[in-house]
Amino acid sequence: MDNHKDLTDSSCRRHWSPAVLLICSAIACTILLTTATYGAPTSAPWLEQTELKGRFLQMTDLHPDEHYLEGAAVWTSCHTIVGEDGDDHNNDDVSGQKRFQRYNGRVRRYPFGYPNDRTLSSNILRPELLPSRASSSSVVPVNNTMGGRYGAPNTTCDSPLGLIDATFNWIDKNVVDSVDFVVWTGDNARHDSDNTHPRTQKEINALNKIIANKVLNTFPPGPLGRRIPIIPSIGNNDIYPHNILQPGPNAILQHFATIWTEFIPESMAKTFARGGYYSVEAIADKITVVSLNTLYFYIPNVAVDGCREEEQPGTEQMDWLEAELDRLRKRKMVAYLTGHVPPDKKSYSPTCYSRYTKIALAYQDVIVGHLFGHANIDHFFLLSHGGNKEGEEESPPEDGLVGDAPIDNNATLSAQGLSTYLEDLWMQYDTVPRRAQLKDYAIVMVSPSVVPTYNPTLRVFSYQLDNSDGDTQDGEDEDEDAEKLYHHHRRPSPVPSTTFGFPQEFTQYWCNLTHANKHPRTPPTYEIEYRTREDYGLENLGVSEWLGLARRIAREEDLKRVYLDRMVVQSGANTTVA
| Stated pTM of the model | 0.80
Where residue 147 sits, what CATH number does that domain have?
3.60.21.10
> In the sheet where 230-232 sits, what is the strand order?
230-232, 181-184, 55-59, 457-463, 503-510, 527-531
Please tell me which residue, 407 or 207, carries the higher pLDDT value: 207
Cβ contact 62:167 at 8 Å: yes
Angle, helices 350-362/313-331, rounded to nearest 10 degrees: 0
Provide the pairing of β-strand 334-338 with 230-232.
Answer: unpaired
Residue 1 lies in a domain: no
Cα 101 to Cα 202: distance, rounded to the nearest angstrom: 12
CA pair distance 306, 312, nearest whole angstrom: 7
β-pair partners for 159 = 64
pLDDT tier at 408 (50, 70, 90 boundaries)? Answer: very low
Cα 184 to Cα 139: distance, rounded to the nearest angstrom: 38
Kindly state whether residue 114 falls inside one of the protein's structural domains.
no
Give the chain's mean pLDDT. Answer: 80
Domain that holds residue 236: 55-75+143-390+403-467+491-568
Model confidence band, residue 385 (pLDDT cutoffs 50, 70, 90): confident
Domain presence at residue 7: no
- The pLDDT of residue 48 is above 70: no
- The C-alpha atoms of residue 237 and residue 244 are separated, in whole angstroms, by 9
59 φ/ψ angles, rounded to the nearest 5 degrees: -130, 150
What is the SS3 assignment for 281? strand
Q: Could you tell me the pLDDT band of residue 36, with boundaries at 50, 70 and 90?
A: very low
Report the candidate in 407, 486, 447 with the shortest Cα–Cα distance to residue 566. Answer: 447
pLDDT tier, 368 (very low <50, low <70, confident <90, very high otherwise)? very high
Please give the Cα distance from 151 to 156 (Å, whole number). 10
Residue 450 scores a pLDDT above 70: yes
Please report the pLDDT score of residue 104 as a whole number.
53
Contact 134, 76 (CB under 8 A): no
Instruction: Give a yes or no: residue 329 inside a domain.
Output: yes
Number of domains in the chain: 1
pLDDT of residue 72: 95
Spell out the residues 6+ positions from residue 249 whose beta carbon is closer than 8 angstroms to its own: 273, 274
49 part of a folded domain: no
Q: Specify whether the CB–CB gap between 336 and 287 falls below 8 A.
A: yes
Q: Determine the pLDDT at residue 491.
A: 81
pLDDT at 469 over 70: no
Indicate whether 302 pLDDT > 80: yes
By CB atoms closer than 10 A (0-12, 13-18, 19+), residue 510 is: buried
How would you list the strands of the sheet with 379-384, edge to edge? 278-283, 287-291, 334-338, 367-372, 441-446, 379-384
Could you report the per-residue pLDDT of 536-559, keeping only the tens digit for each? 999 999 999 999 999 999 999 999
Res 418: pLDDT: 76
User: Average pLDDT of 47-53?
Assistant: 71
Q: Which residue has the higher pLDDT, 139 or 309?
A: 309
Residues contacting residue 260 through CB under 8 Å, at least 6 positions apart: 212, 232
What pLDDT, on a 0 to 100 scale, did the predictor assign at position 86?
Answer: 55
**Residue 370 to residues 58, 109, 219, Cα–Cα distance (Å):** 12, 38, 24
- Is the pLDDT confidence value at 389 over 70? no
Within a domain: residue 250?
yes
Q: Name the β-bridge partners of 283.
A: 287
Of residues 332 and 50, more confidently modeled? 332
For residue 110, being part of any structural domain is answered with no
Give mean pLDDT, residues 466-492: 51
Q: pLDDT category, 489, cuts 50, 70, 90?
A: low
In the chain, % of residues over pLDDT 90: 66
Alpha helices in 349-499 (DSSP H): 350-362, 410-412, 419-430, 476-487
The 10s digit of each residue's pLDDT in 140-168 is: 334 447 999 999 999 999 999 999 999 99
Task: Please give the average per-residue pLDDT across 96-111, as a whole number.
Answer: 44
Band (pLDDT 50/70/90 cuts) for residue 56 is very high
pLDDT value at residue 277: 98
Question: Looking at the predicted structure, is the pLDDT value of residue 30 above 70?
Answer: no
CA 374 to chain centre: 8
**In Å, how far are 92, 112, 126, 178 from 122, measured between CA atoms?**
21, 18, 5, 26
Average pLDDT of the residues in 361-377: 97
- For the beta carbon of residue 487, count every other beta carbon within 10 angstroms: 8
pLDDT at 21: 43
**Does any domain span residue 132?**
no
The three-class DSSP label of residue 338 is: strand
